[in-house]
Amino acid sequence: MTAQPDLFPPPSGPKSTIPAIEANTYRAYLKWRETLEGRRAFALCARAALCECRAGAKRISAKGICEQVRHTDNIKINNTHVSWIADSLIASYPELKDVIETRARRKAKTL
């Protein structure tokens, strides 16, 4: 029995760039925070959270703040970074400690 000739070339792999798993790590978050976009996003998130806090909000959703910044200022924020943004906001602005919603983490921050 003879082999059939290949009619199609072998698959070359995905045509889009798949983000590396590294993008979802605390280390990647810290690198992102050092970029111009990261600093700008954090400043906008802080401004929005502080405005809500000073307006008398009892609870502030970090996810809601990040979504607001994403859509109004057209900034890319990784969903994995939202909880770390909340932690950084609380560390930078202690008055947000009792109003920003936080949850128990399944994994500890590791570099």
Tell me what pLDDT residue 9 has.
74
Q: Is residue 57 part of a domain?
A: yes
CA distance 97 to 39: 21
Q: How many domains does the chain have?
A: 1
Tell me what pLDDT residue 104 has.
78
Q: Is residue 69 part of a domain?
A: yes
Angle between helices 36-54 and 82-92 (to 10 degrees): 60
Q: Is residue 62 part of a domain?
A: yes
pTM score: 0.77
Range of the domain at 32: 22-96
How much helix, strand and coil, in percent to the nearest 5, is found in the chain?
Answer: 55, 0, 45
Q: Is residue 13 part of a domain?
A: no
Tell me what pLDDT residue 37 has.
95
Q: Is residue 16 part of a domain?
A: no
CA distance 24 to 65: 19
Query: Along the chain (111 residues), what's the average pLDDT of each consecutive run of 10 residues?
Result: 68 64 86 96 97 96 96 94 95 96 76 69
The four Cα atoms 75, 40, 22, 15 give a dihedral, to 10 degrees, of 30
